[in-house]
Amino acid sequence: MWISDVHLGTKGCQAEALLDFIKTYECEKLYLVGDIIDIWALKRGIHWPQSHNDVVQKLLRKARKGTEVIYIPGNHDEFLMEYFGDFGNITLLENDIHTTSDGRRILVMHGHEMDSIIRNAG
């Protein structure tokens, strides 16, 4: 399962819909592919309702119960890029190669690295 661009911490985040999805489906491996938490938005002002906590708690619970969780930071949660490695049941990586059940290999990355504005900033 791949989840990307949730932007927890923003008013437009659809945390309740995501929570329903996470509760409905089980998986062996879960990729969190960037911008799960929107640090850019949180720097402008805190917006963190209970539903955002519920999403984080459900993701952590899945990891504790055996789902392999791989977190690949994006540009809005880039502060995590300083902490690559294993954290309990969650692995933080810059990118990953996922091998499908039929042997195909898929590069898993957030994609902001391909954005010329992001690449040339700073």
Res 118: pLDDT: 47
Domains of the chain by start residue, with CATH: 2-120 (3.60.21)
| pLDDT of amino acid 30 | 97
Q: Which long-range contacts (CB under 8 A, 24 or more apart) does 104-111 make?
A: 108/2, 108/31, 108/33, 108/70, 108/72, 109/33, 109/72, 110/4, 110/33, 110/34, 110/35, 110/72, 110/73, 110/74, 110/75, 111/34, 111/74
Q: What is the pLDDT of residues 79-121, one digit of tens each?
A: 888 889 898 889 999 999 999 999 999 999 987 665 555 455 5
Q: Would you state the pLDDT for residue 79?
A: 84
**pLDDT, tens digit, 9 for 90 and up, residues 20-78:** 999 999 999 999 999 999 999 999 999 999 999 999 999 999 999 999 999 999 998 98
